[in-house]
Structure 1
Amino acid sequence: MDKVAVLIPCYNESKTVKKVVEDFRKALPEAAVYVYDNNSTDGTGDLAREVGAIVRHEYQQGKGNVIRRMFREIDAEVYVMVDGDDTYPAEAAPEMVRKVLEGQSDMVVGDRLSSTYYTENKRPFHNFGNSFVKNCINRFFDTNIQDIMTGYRAFSYQFVKTFPVLSHGFEIETEMSIHAADKHMQVDHVIIDYRDRPAGSVSKLNTYSDGFKVLTRILSLYKNYKPLGFFSLLAEILTALGVAFLIPILTEYWATGLVPRFPTLIVCGFVLIAALQSLFAGLVLQSMEQKNKQDFEMQLIAAHEAYKNLQKDEKEQEQ
C-alpha cells in the first residue's frame, strides 16, 4: 500500500504532463505518481513514463471511467487527484495530504473559486457554470463546498473504497461532492492559485454539452439522494396545475349548477391523483434511502477494517 498516491487522469496532455509529474514528484517525494492514459494519441503515456510516473491505461473513454479504474486498482493511505493540464499548483498538495492524515478529512477540495479562477479562466460560461453548480448543490444538499467542479482533490482510503463511481465523464466531480455531502463525510478546503492552460494545451471540456450533463446529473442525484424533496416538489407542481384548472370549473358549477367541461374535470382528477401518488412514492423511497445510509455506515466500518489490515500487513513485511 502506498503512503500517498498521486492520480493523474490524462487524455492527450503531451504539452503539460511531464511538468505535472515532475512538480508533484518534487512536492511529494514520498508519493507514487500514477498517470492513467485514456486512449491518448499524442504520446502522453510515454512522456509521463520518461519522468518517473507509473503509467497505466483505461480504454473506456471518459474521465469517470478513468477514476473508477484508479480507485479500484490502487491502495493508499492518501490519494491526491489532479488533472494533467498544469492548471493546479503542486505546492498545495502537502497541505491537502496533511489534512487527510492529521485532520481526518475524507475529502479535501482544492478551491479555485476563492482565489484566481475568475481572472485566470478565459471562458466566461465556465465561470458562470461553476458558480451556478456550486450554488445549486449547496442549496439542494445543505452543504458549503466552495468549489464543486475542481479537478484537484485529496481523499482518504475510506472515501475512495466506498465511493460508487456511476458517471462516465466530467460530471464525476459533481458526483463526488454530492456523495460527500449526503454521507456527512468531512470535507475541508485548501485555497489554491489556479492558472489557465498554457499555450498549445486544449481543454477537452465542452461548455454546453458537458454543462448539460452536469445539470442533468445534479437533478438525477437529487432524486436519488433526496427522494422525498424531489417527489414532494413534483407533487406540488401537479397539485398547482390541477387546482388551477379545477377552480374555473367549480366556480361555474357553483354559479350555474352545470359542468360543461367534463374532459377538463377528468384530467384534473387524474393530475391530482398523480400528485398524491408522487407524494407517497417520495415517502417510500425516503425510507429506502435511510436504509441505504445505514448500510453505507457498515461499509465504512468494513473499509476501515480493510485499511487497518493493509497497514498491519505492510508493517509485517517491513519487519
Structure 2
Amino acid sequence: MDRSPPALSVVLPSLNEEETIADCITKIRQVFADLGTEGEIIIADSSRDRTPEIAASLGAIVVRPEKMGYGNAYLAGLARARGTYVVIGDADNTYDFLEIPQLLAPLDAGADMVLGSRLRGTILPGAMPALHRYIGNPVLTWLLNRVFHTHISDSHTGFRAIRRDALECLHLKTGGMEFASEMIIEAAIAGLRIEEVPITYHPRLTPSKLQSFSDGWRHVRFMLLYRPVPFLAVPGLFFAFFGLSLMLLFLVRGDVETYRFHSFILASLAFIGGLEGMLMGLIIRVFSVVHGYGRQSAAISRLLNYNILEWGIAGGSLMMTAGVIVGLGIVYQWAAAGFGSLSQIANAVWALALFLAGIQILFAAVFVSMMLLKADQKEE
C-alpha cells in the first residue's frame, strides 16, 4: 500500500454543517481533478448532526477533536494532515474552494503562507455584517499589523494555505477563536513570508456561530498575551514616573493642601494606576513566556531571576512599611491634638500611595515567583 504523503491536504473544522459539507467536499475534489494532484480532505468534526456521516460517505477523513473549540478542531485536523501544502477553510461554504489554486500559486512562487483576503476581494451581499466589515475586522487587523509588524488586510480570514515545513515552525496551541490570530502571529515571529490573494466571500446558509464582541475581545486579549509590554508596561511606567515626579515636586514646594491639593490627588492616582499597569504588563509577559506564548528576551531573563524577585519583595515591604509609618505619624499627631480637628490630608495621601505601591510590588513579585515555581516543576 502506498503510504507516500499527498501533495495537498485540505482541513475543514465542522460543527453541525450537514447542509453544506457535501458541497465543500465536492468542490475540493473538483480542484484535485483539475490540478491532476493527489489530495486528502480532513474534516475535524464536533457535530451533533449528520455532518461526519456525510463527509465519510464522500471519502473524507473524519477526525474527532478531544475538546470543543475552533482552534481545537484545527489542531486535531492539522495533526492528521500529511500534504506538502495544507489548505484550511470553513465547512459552511462561505469560502469557494474552487479558488484553492489561487492560494497555491504564491506557495509555488516561494511564499510560506497565503491568506485569502475577503476585504481585498468580493464580499457578496449578506455575507459579512457591516459591523465586522467596516469596524471589527479592519480595527483588529490594523492592531495586529501595528504590534507584530505585518502588512495584511484581513487577519481573520479562515481561508488559508501554508507549506508543510512552514506549518511545522508554528507553535500552535490555542483552542478557541484566537487560533486565527495565533497562526499569523506565530508566522510573523518566525519570519515567514506571508502573502494575500483576493477571494470571494459568500453568505452562510445557517446562522453564524460567531459572537462579535466576545470573540473580538478574545483576539485583543490574545495579542495582549504576546505583547503586554507596549500595551501595558510602557504606558504604565510613563504614568507612574509622571505621577511620582509631580508628587515629589509638590512635596518640595509645600502648601499642598492650600494650593495644589487636587493636582496632588491626580498625581497620586497616576502613580498608583501607572504602577499597576506596569506590573500587570510584566506579569502577563512572564505568564506568556512560561506558557510558551512568546520568546524569552534578555530583559525577561533578568526579571525571572529569583534574586531580582527577592529584591522586589523586599522593596515592596519597605514601601508598605513607610506608608504605615506615615499613617502612624498622623494618628500620633491626632492623639496629641486631643483627637480634635486635624489637617493631615497630604500626609494621608502619601501614606496610602506608599502602602498601595508597596503591596502591588510585593504581590507581583510573589505571584511571579509562584509562576516560576510551577514552571520549574514542569521541567522536572
TM-score (norm: length of structure 2): 0.65
Which residue, out of 77, 91, 95, partners 1:88? 95
Which of 75, 79, 82 is the matching residue for 2:86?
79
CA deviations over 1:206-247 (Å, ceiling 9, x no partner): 112222212211211223xxx467532331233234345555
Instruction: Find the counterpart in structure 1 of residue 378 from structure 2.
Output: none
For the residue of structure 2 that corresponds to 1:112, the secondary structure is: strand
Q: Give SS of 2:162's match.
A: strand
2:14 is aligned to: 10
- Paired position in structure 2 for 1:289: 297
Q: Alpha-carbon deviation of 1:66? A: 1.2
Moved more, 12-21 or 54-63: 54-63
Cα-to-partner distance string for 1:11-55 (whole Å, 9 max, x where unaligned)? 1111111000101110123321111112x1111111112222121
- The alignment partner of 2:111 has SS state of coil
How much identity, in percent, do the aligned residues show? 24
Asked if structure 2 preserves the Cα contact closer than 8 Å seen for 1:122 and 1:196, the reply is: yes
User: 198, 201, 204: which is aligned to 1:194?
Assistant: 201
Task: Establish whether residue 69 from structure 1 lines up as the match of residue 114 from structure 2.
Answer: no
Q: Residue deviations 1:123-165, cap 9 Å, x none?
A: 2222221111011111112211111001000011122222222
* Map of 2:26 onto structure 1: 22
Q: Distance in 1 between matches of 2:53 and 2:74?
A: 20
- Equivalent position SS for 1:80: strand
**Letter of the structure 2 residue corresponding to residue 67 of structure 1:** Y
Counterparts of 1:175-194 in structure 2 under 5 Å? Answer: 175-194=182-201
Quote the Cα distance in structure 1 between the aligned partners of 2:59 and 2:113: 27
4+ aligned runs moved over 6 Å, structure 1? 261-287
| DSSP 3-state at the match of 1:115 | strand
Partner AA of 1:134 in structure 2 = T
2:105 is aligned to 98
Cα gap change, 1:194 to 1:7, in 2 (>3 Å): same
- 1:168 corresponds in structure 2 to 175
Contact 1:87 1:195 in 2 (8 A): yes
In structure 2, what is the Cα distance between the partners aligned to 1:291 and 1:156? Answer: 34
Cα distance in 2 for residues equivalent to 1:246 and 1:232: 21
3-state SS of 1:109 partner? strand
Greater Rg over alpha carbons, structure:
2
Greater RCO, CA 8 A, separation 6+: 1
More displaced, 244-253 or 124-133?
244-253
Check 1:70–1:250 CA distance in 2 against 1; reply closer, same or farther (3 A cut).
Answer: farther
Residues 1:240 and 1:55: Cα distance change in structure 2 (over 3 Å) = same
What is the CA–CA distance in structure 2 between the aligned matches of 1:189 and 1:265, rounded to whole Å?
48
Change (3 A) 1:33 1:268: closer
| 2: CA distance, partners of 1:169 / 1:268 | 36
Partner of 1:41: 48
In the alignment, which residue of structure 1 is the partner of 2:368?
none
CA contact (8 A) 1:243 1:268 kept: no
Give the direction of change, closer, same or farther, for the CA distance of 1:234–1:37 in structure 2 (3 Å limit).
Answer: same
Task: Determine the structure 1 residue equivalent to 2:226.
Answer: 221
Aligned match of 1:242: 244
Partners of 2:148 and 2:44 in 1: CA distance: 32
- What CA distance in whole angstroms lies between the structure 2 residues aligned with 1:272 and 1:188? 39
Change (3 A) 1:219 1:24: same
Instruction: Give the whole-Å Cα distance in 2 for the aligned partners of 1:137 and 1:276.
Output: 21
Distance verdict in 2 for CA 1:131–1:287, change over 3 Å: closer
The amino acid across from 1:103 in the alignment is: A
Q: Provide the C-alpha distance between the structure 2 equivalents of 1:87 and 1:269, rounded to a whole number of angstroms.
A: 50
1:57-76 deviation per Cα after TM superposition (whole angstroms, max 9, x unaligned): 11300011111112223222
Displacement of 1:81 after TM fit?
0.2
Which amino acid letter does the alignment assign opposite residue 17 of structure 1?
I
Give the secondary-structure state (helix, strand or coil) at the position aligned to 2:227.
Answer: helix
Q: 1: distance between equivalents of 2:270 and 2:218?
A: 34
Cα deviation, residue 122, structure 1: 4.5
Give, in angstroms, the shift of residue 91 of structure 1. Answer: 2.4
Measure, in 2, the Cα distance between the counterparts of 1:44 and 1:266. Answer: 60
Over the aligned positions, Cα root-mean-square deviation in angstroms equals 3.7
Matched residue SS, 2:210: coil
1:204 & 1:134 partners in 2: Cα distance? 20
Q: Distance in 1 between matches of 2:281 and 2:73?
A: 38
- One-letter amino acid of the counterpart of residue 33, structure 1: I
Change (3 A) 1:240 1:168: farther
Give the superposition deviation at 1:179.
1.5
Where structure 2 has 5 or more consecutive residues not aligned to the other structure, the ranges are 301-380
* Contact 1:235 1:276 (C-alpha < 8 Å) held by counterparts: yes
Where does structure 1 lack aligned partners over 5 or more consecutive residues? 293-319
Is residue 32 of structure 1 aligned with residue 33 of structure 2? no
Report the equivalent of 1:123: 129
